[in-house]
Amino acid sequence: MLRIVNLEEIERMLLRVPALVDLQDRGNPDFAQDVKQWLSELEKVLESNRIAVAGTVAALRALVISAERGVIPVGVEFHGRPTRRKIQEAAGAYVLRQSGDLVSSVTQRERERVAEAERLTRQLVALAKAKGLIQEVPSGGDFTEILKGIWRTLSADPDISGGTVNVEGLVGPYDALIVLDRIITSDIGKE
């Protein structure tokens, strides 16, 4: 189970893909090199989070390295003469798509788990607000301690405690506070 901060670190890497595609669209000669650099950084992020597809991403990076040396990737076809630059660009685009799809599919269940925790927490906060357990966004003091106090209050309420157990089961006690913070800030902070 990935922590929210680690999942978001991986998602930030995926959010860099549009900028790489823009490089390709502009015909930037550094496109393949930038894709290779991005793959290397993605590998490190995946390795640090103990996600085994880091090896597959490394293999995709090897494909770009081979293309830099003139090897045409299997399944890549060209219109006209295959130049070194066309080979590199085609390899970069191919591995960009493959690695993006791969990492997205690996993290999909994690995103769904966090989304479910957010949905449950939103319901718990609405119920707690209706019961008068949460009045407004707390301010001043140690915000982490305030969140812990709110979570303890929710956990102690007989109508809400089952939901807090479910949220902690989905994301763990630390990430439950992160989700609570975000929900309180977005839902109660708007009023």
CB–CB of 36/89 below 8 Å? Answer: no
CB burial readout 155-173, b (16+ within 10 A) else e? bebeebeebbebbbebbee
Q: What global pTM score does this model have? A: 0.85
Question: Mean pLDDT for each 10-residue chunk of the chain (191 residues)?
Answer: 95 97 95 96 97 96 93 80 89 94 95 97 94 75 85 95 96 96 78 52
Token match 């798509």: residue?
97
CA distance 152 to 165: 11
> What's the DSSP call for residue 72?
P
